[in-house]
Chain A
Amino acid sequence: MALINVKTKEVQIKIVYYGPGRGGKTTNLEYINKKYRDQIKTEMVSLKTQDDRTLFFDFLPFDVGQIKGFDITIQLYTVPGQVKYNATRRLVLRGVDGIVFVADVQKEQRKKNIESLNQLYENLETYNLDLFKIPLAMQYNKIDLKQSDIPILSSQTMQKDLNGILRAPAFEASALKGGNVIQTLKKIISMTLGSIQDQLF
């Protein structure tokens, strides 16, 4: 739940990038960090393994200005995508306000996307949160692979697999090249702010 401090007039919002391993969650944050470096006061924190895989989370906080006199800070987190790290994934979801589900459009990742989304639903349930109610944006990442020989899934297939019932706003993206990374971010920020606006007075 967003932290609203009535004394310091600050709001802190937690947005988590979730999805299967090697899907591009960390790459999303790295792109945002590079793009908005001048406006981000702190360094991005990454807890990773020796071979550069996320071990616990990445963390990137930044300010987005004021709403109704409150200073808004957005805190972006990623979860570790590897299957074995579900216990830590669940810990990162504590207090989440909005989610970006980063799916991998490679054909061979199809099953992993679905499994990861199902697990997200279960993990949120442990905090009494409902995937159907929490602000959620879908990102179909690695669309740049279209130009290569690697077989990828069409957006229609991705929509059918992951977003048929959820009907969240969805973006084709290339985290590596920055395509639609910022659009996804802007969408989830506006949805999340919309969901907490009633709590600001």
Chain B
Amino acid sequence: MFNETQLEAIDNVIQINLIKAGLDNVIFMDMAGNTIAKHDNGKSHLDSTAFAALAAGNFAAVDAMAKLVGESEFSLLFHKGEKSSIHFSKINDETLLITMFNKDISLGLVRLKVAETIKEINNILAND
């Protein structure tokens, strides 16, 4: 379980690194499909509860496929749409970071910002 200081710090990191960089939606969630933190740019109408359940299922299925082909994991999971895209990243064995962004933002920038964010979240979680 995360304490209040950790949750506060994670919210800040997501806001500064990702939402301010122009991403539409960010969900920090556990592998069981529970949302821990959700952030958006104020214009979103996403049903984040259902989204998190589906995202957990999707990630778990791909993870199981990786094991079947002898990979320990597929670390990058990315779905590209016409207007918006979704990027999945594993933070640790228990949690995932899902980011959604529109066509004005490049995948490269998202990957860079997500990598920074994951590093910072792991630092926050290490300071229990």
Given the complex, which residues of B lie within 8 Å of A59, measured CB to CB? 33, 50, 53-54
Q: Quick check: B1 and A91 within 8 Å, CB to CB?
A: no
Are A88 and B61 neighbours in the complex by a CB distance under 8 Å?
yes
**A5 to chain B: closest CB distance in Å?**
6
Point out the residues of chain A lying under 8 angstroms from B61, CB to CB: 56, 88, 91
Contact A95 B33 (CB under 8 A): yes
Given that A45-B54, A47-B57, A87-B64 are known contacts, is A5 also in contact with B32, CB under 8 Å in the complex? Answer: no
Q: Does A94 lie within 8 Å of B53, measured CB to CB?
A: no
Chain B residues, Cβ within 8 Å of A91: 57, 60-61, 64
Tell me if B116 counts as interface (CB < 8 A to partner A).
no
Number of A-B contacts (CB under 8 A): 69
Q: Give the size of the chain A interface in residues (CB under 8 angstroms).
A: 28
- Please tell me which one of the listed residues A6, A42, A47, A57 contacts residue B49 in the complex, with CB atoms under 8 A apart: A42
List residues 4-54 of chain A with CB under 8 A from any CB of chain B. Answer: 4-8, 12, 14, 42-43, 45, 47
Q: How far is the CA of A68 from the CA of B64 in the complex (A)?
A: 38
Cβ–Cβ contact A7 & B8, under 8 A: yes
Contact of A92 (CB < 8 Å), options: B2, B30, B50, B57: B57
Instruction: State in angstroms the CA–CA spacing of A61 and B33 once bound together.
Output: 11
- Shortest CB distance A79–B (Å): 11
Q: How many of chain B's residues touch chain A, expressed as a range?
A: 20 to 34
Query: What's the dominant secondary structure at chain B's contact region?
Result: helix
Against B, the Cβ 8 Å flags (1 = close, 0 = not) of A67-84 are 000000101010000000
A43→B34 contact, CB < 8 A = no
B104 at interface (Cβ–Cβ under 8 A)? no
Query: What is the minimal beta-carbon distance from A13 to any residue of chain B, in angstroms?
Result: 9
A-contacting residues of B (Cβ < 8 Å)? 1-4, 7-8, 11, 30-36, 47, 49-50, 53-54, 56-57, 60-61, 64
> What residues of chain A have their CB less than 8 Å away from a CB belonging to chain B?
1, 3-8, 12, 14, 42-43, 45, 47, 56-57, 59, 61, 73, 75, 77, 87-88, 91-92, 94-96, 199
Q: A8-B7, A12-B34 known; 4 other A-B pairs, CB under 8 Å?
A: A42-B47, A91-B57, A94-B56, A95-B30
